[in-house]
Chain A
Amino acid sequence: MTEQVATLDVPLVELVDRLLNRGVVLTGEVTISVAGVDLIYLGLSVVLSGVDTIRRHGADI
């Protein structure tokens, strides 16, 4: 059961979603980008795809 879901990257995306979209924000002076995509935009997109997918399609985000 777990193996099947792992293949789909669901657990990783769930974690990445929390790392990028949740947690305390103190409003930093610099916003870091991930794989070349600014987090402001990445935050909107990460719920749709895993990091590898974002990397592959980064230019379209």
Chain B
Amino acid sequence: MSLLLRAIVAAEDAGVAADLGLFSVSGTRAAALASAWDTARAAGEAELLDHHRIVQAVFERVPCLPARFGSAFADEEALRLRLALREVDLAAQLVRLGHRCELAITCAWREQEALPRATIVPARSGRAYLERGLTQMRVERARERRAEAIVARLLSELAIEPAFIRHRICPRPAVAVSMSVLVTRDEIEEMSSRVERLGAQLGDVTTVMQGPWAPYTFAVSE
């Protein structure tokens, strides 16, 4: 029977999700929680969201490190071997991150159609093509500068230790800033208030906070 990895927990918490139908493979310091999985089975949006639901259920009970979706193992022994190679590092990460939550802060541009689509409509001439490309590049640079300014506002407003923040500017055409912050549960309400307050001041983006989630962004791979 193949297993799909869901989360890593401390060894003493190995049995925490037995009622969720999860198998545990324990080492001396950490345990891997996994579900039975048919590798011939197709995965789609439902399976992705199901993975998130399972990780969240574990996270609500004990500190955990969420697994990236998609790692399947032939059997328990295969998973045990891989866990043994990373166990010391994973146990250290659990101590550092496991009791913290990830909040996702997204600033999406209100004006979605501002960027010209250079490749869709053929240009009338080479000059027109280059001019359109130049215009697009200027718009993109302006957006990047604006996104950097928004990040500066967020960092100032949230006042979180740099080690607990990750961000990207303009990761997609619709998004100015995608930020992940790591907080304790008792900090969530205050963080939410700060994000809402700042979002109300930013007229060109819509600001949304999601979470609390397990610390996906801060769990280090390999």
Contact = CB atoms under 8 A, between A and B. Distances in A.
A19 interface: yes
Interface string B196-222: 000100000011101001101101111
A44 interface: no
Contacts, number: 147
A2 B208 contact: yes
A32 B106 contact: no
Given A13-B172, A15-B104, A26 B210 contact: no
Interface in A1-58: 1-2, 4-5, 8, 10-11, 13-36, 39, 47-48, 51-52, 55
Contacts of B181: none
B72 A32 contact: yes
Nearest to B199: A1
Contacts of A17: 178
B174 A24 contact: no
A34 B221 CA distance: 21
Given A8-B108, A30-B72, A34-B43, A23 B67 contact: yes
Interface string B59-80: 0000001111111111000110
Interface of B: 2, 4-5, 7-8, 32, 37, 39, 42-45, 47-49, 51-52, 65-74, 78-79, 82-83, 86, 90, 93, 102, 104, 106, 108, 110, 112, 171-172, 174-175, 178, 180, 199, 206-208, 210, 213-214, 216-217, 219-222
